[in-house]
Amino acid sequence: MGIRTVAVHSVADADSLHVRFADEKICIGPPPARDSYLNIPVLISAAEVSGADAVHPGYGFLSENAHFAQVVQKCGFKWIGPEPQTMRLMGDKVSARAAMAKAGVPTLPGTGVIETDREADEAVERIGLPVIIKASAGGGGRGMKIVHSRDRLSAQLAAARSEAQAGFGNPAVYLERYIGRPRHVEVQVLGDGERAIALGERECSIQRRHQKMVEEAPSVALDDARRAELLRIARKATESIGYRTVGTLEFLLDEDKSFYFMEMNTRIQVEHTVTEEVFGLDLVREQIRLAAGDPLRLPADMRPRGHAIELRINAEDPVTFAPSPGRITALNLPGGLGVRVDTHVYQQYVVPSHYDSLLAKLIVHAENRPAALARTRRALAEFVVEGIKTNLDFHRRLLANADFVAGRLDTHLVERMGAP
């Protein structure tokens, strides 16, 4: 696009590959996130001294922080994301559920914010057991508790509130009916404030402790009719809130293929790459265009081509999943037709202990799912990381798992494989 880039980084990320390749780099502080990546005044100062026109928040830290988006705009920069009021609406899960229900999107039976144990007990009487407690401002499994017995309701509420306060600075929680073996399916949406399109769905059911490990597109769980209905509802929901930029609507799919809205991510996601591969477009480029005020130009009837799979390659023990920072002494990245690796690491790079353990994303595209699985196995055989432990062996085991290969997926498959 011919746009110069400025990479902001902490001291720990000074040698990251994206920092080396950016047109300009600015160190914003020491490794602790609160002193660097979460330090709004320092980030704004970096934008000012570099002469930047816009701020792209990535997909972590402040990427869904409405206050940061508002500060960026008030300081005269373009925010490459949705309007702050939209982020506030969809960032709070209780208000997001209400907005989606108003737009006609199916939601699980649930509650607003639960203030007292008595309210929770009355809600359980209405919803039935089991229920799941969720943090209103949360995500990633924090502040989330499954309740199978009323005897445990009060204690689990207290634990969930404590986790929510510690993780998000907000103790508010709500209740929702719990689905025992759901699939996690999400829809990629783009909007220009008036018109929206839904660019297919992604299957994200391979998770450990609510953290995604593998994503693919399209989902094998949906037939053409069910897919058309899901995408129609996602598009309508996106237009109903006047959404501008890229985003993701996340759904739970139960065993009879009914789907229910879970949450909206008001940012680009880690797994956007599988949608890029099957639709042949650059979602970040579309995100920048929309932020610049361009209207949505993509046709509404785009169809996916083939099948794509993404594996998250992490610096962690493949059995215990304990983090494994350190120096990468040898590295070989797979390549060839239909193989893409997005990474910030290289040989002799030192993986810091301060942040998420993601090292790389291995994305494979082929004409159908069996071909994509075969190509992914070949790519994994070529992927070498030495000096630290990685989850490459876990992914090799997963691709040999009969249920995964057959597409019999749900969010507990990794647990049944013996993961802690």
Instruction: Please give the pLDDT value at position 256.
Output: 86
Quick one: how far is CA 353 from the chain centroid? 21
pLDDT digits (tens, 9 = 90+) for 378-398: 999 999 999 999 999 999 999
Burial of 300 (0-12, 13-18, 19+ CB in 10 A): exposed
Q: What are phi and psi of 183, to 5 degrees?
A: -100, 150
**Residue 225 clears pLDDT 90, i.e. is over it:** yes
Burial of 306 (0-12, 13-18, 19+ CB in 10 A): middle
CA–CA distance, 202 with 220 (Å, rounded to integer): 10
Instruction: Please give the pLDDT value at position 168.
Output: 84
Domain boundaries 109-177, corresponding CATH code: 3.30.1490.20
Retrieve residue 289's tokens.
Answer: 């265009």
One-letter amino acid for residue 365 of the chain:
H
CA–CA distance, 249 with 193 (Å, rounded to integer): 16
- Give the three-class secondary structure for 343: strand
Cβ atoms within 10 Å, residue 14? 12
**Residue 107 clears pLDDT 80, i.e. is over it:** yes
The answer to whether 138 touches 167, Cβ cutoff 8 Å, is: yes
One-letter amino acid for residue 65 of the chain:
N
The answer to whether 142 touches 168, Cβ cutoff 8 Å, is: yes
**Residue 210 clears pLDDT 90, i.e. is over it:** no
CA–CA distance, 143 with 417 (Å, rounded to integer): 25
CATH topology (fold) of 183-416: D-amino Acid Aminotransferase; Chain A, domain 1 (3.30.470)
Confidence of residue 25 (pLDDT cuts 50, 70, 90): very high
**Residue 143 clears pLDDT 90, i.e. is over it:** no
Provide the percentage of residues in the chain whose pLDDT is more than 90: 94
Task: Return left, alpha or beta for 82; rule: phi > 0 is left, psi -120 to 50 is alpha, else beta.
Answer: beta
pTM, rounded to two decimals: 0.93
DSSP string, 55-89: E--TTSTTTT-HHHHHHHHHTTPEESSS-HHHHHH
Instruction: Please give the pLDDT value at position 420.
Output: 85
CA–CA distance, 287 with 291 (Å, rounded to integer): 6
Confidence of residue 305 (pLDDT cuts 50, 70, 90): very high
CA–CA distance, 249 with 243 (Å, rounded to integer): 12
Instruction: Determine if the peptide bond prior to 304 is cis (ω within 30°).
Output: no
Laid out side by side, the sheet with 307-314 consists of 259-265, 244-253, 183-192, 196-208, 211-217, 307-314, 358-366, 339-343
The answer to whether 138 touches 168, Cβ cutoff 8 Å, is: yes
Quote the DSSP letter at residue 316: B
Locate the domains of the chain by residue range: 6-86, 109-177, 183-416
Mean pLDDT of 80-84: 97
Residues labelled as active-site residues: 267
Residues 6+ apart with CB under 8 A from 45: none
pLDDT digits (tens, 9 = 90+) for 253-293: 998 889 999 999 999 999 999 999 999 999 999 999 999 99
Nearest to 361 by CA among 277, 266, 251: 277
Burial of 249 (0-12, 13-18, 19+ CB in 10 A): buried
The answer to whether 247 touches 283, Cβ cutoff 8 Å, is: no
**Residue 231 clears pLDDT 90, i.e. is over it:** yes
CATH architecture of 6-86: 3-Layer(aba) Sandwich (3.40)
Instruction: Please give the pLDDT value at position 407.
Output: 97
